[in-house]
Amino acid sequence: MDHSEYGSDPQTSPAPGERLRVARIGKPHGVRGEVTVELFTDDPAQRLAPGAVLLREAAGAPQTTLTVTTQRWNKKICLLGFEEVNDRDGAEDLRGSVLFIEAPETHDDAADGWYSHELEGFRCLSDQGALLGTVSALLTGPAQDLLVVTTPSGEEVMVPFVDELVPQIDAQQQVVTLTPPAGLFP
């Protein structure tokens, strides 16, 4: 099962109008206003396609919107251009901003995974009930997703988000059951 984006229970899927984090803007690329982005979505081709209107949040700045005009790849780095930005200075002003979309109205594959923000803060327990830590993020990757767990001592442990290691998620209790291999957790 792919846990990466949608809730395994329709009640845990994001409600229409809920915002979903899709990317964080990195450094400018070139002089025409393009930026690099760190992706938080497993479907950038659709969610960050030209014409997409994204909500932008930046520390100390009012929320604004950006309209994607271009999306292209430079090696393994996603580059975006926006209607509102046409030079390197404007692109630099976007650095560090987080981009969101509105949750889709329906999810055809709602049983196939989780959104990162739905799991953040969940307690992670071993199958024997021992506290392993708290979910701090879900990183989507091209081959495999990773659950980032912050241990009680503050260390971050990345757990492959596969059924064998993450056999159960209880959304009501906000608990993730883990069966990690020996040595993964300190």
127-178 confidence digits (pLDDT tens): 899 999 999 988 877 778 889 999 999 999 999 998 899 999 998 899 999 9
Tell whether domain 113-178 is in CATH 2.30.30.240: yes
Choose between 97 and 117: higher pLDDT: 97
Cβ(178)–Cβ(127) under 8 Å? Answer: yes
According to CATH, what is the number of the domain 17-104? 2.40.30.60
DSSP-based three-state secondary structure for 119:
helix
| pLDDT score of 113 | 66
Confidence of residue 6 (pLDDT cuts 50, 70, 90): very low
Residue spans per domain, the chain: 17-104, 113-178
pLDDT band at 118 (very low <50, low <70, confident <90, very high): confident
Q: Say whether 113-178 and 17-104 share the same fold.
A: no
The answer to whether residue 20 scores a pLDDT higher than 70 is yes
**Cα 134 to chain center, whole Å?**
16
Query: Could you report how far apart the first and last alpha carbons of the chain are, in Å?
Result: 27
C-alpha distances out from residue 5 to 16, 19, 101, 103, Å: 15, 13, 13, 11
Could you identify the residue written with the tokens 């002089």?
A: 31
Token representation of residue 155: 């260390």
Give me the half-sphere count of Cα atoms (radius 13 Å) on the Cβ side of residue 83.
12
Pairing relationship of beta strands 123-126 and 175-178 according to DSSP bridges: parallel
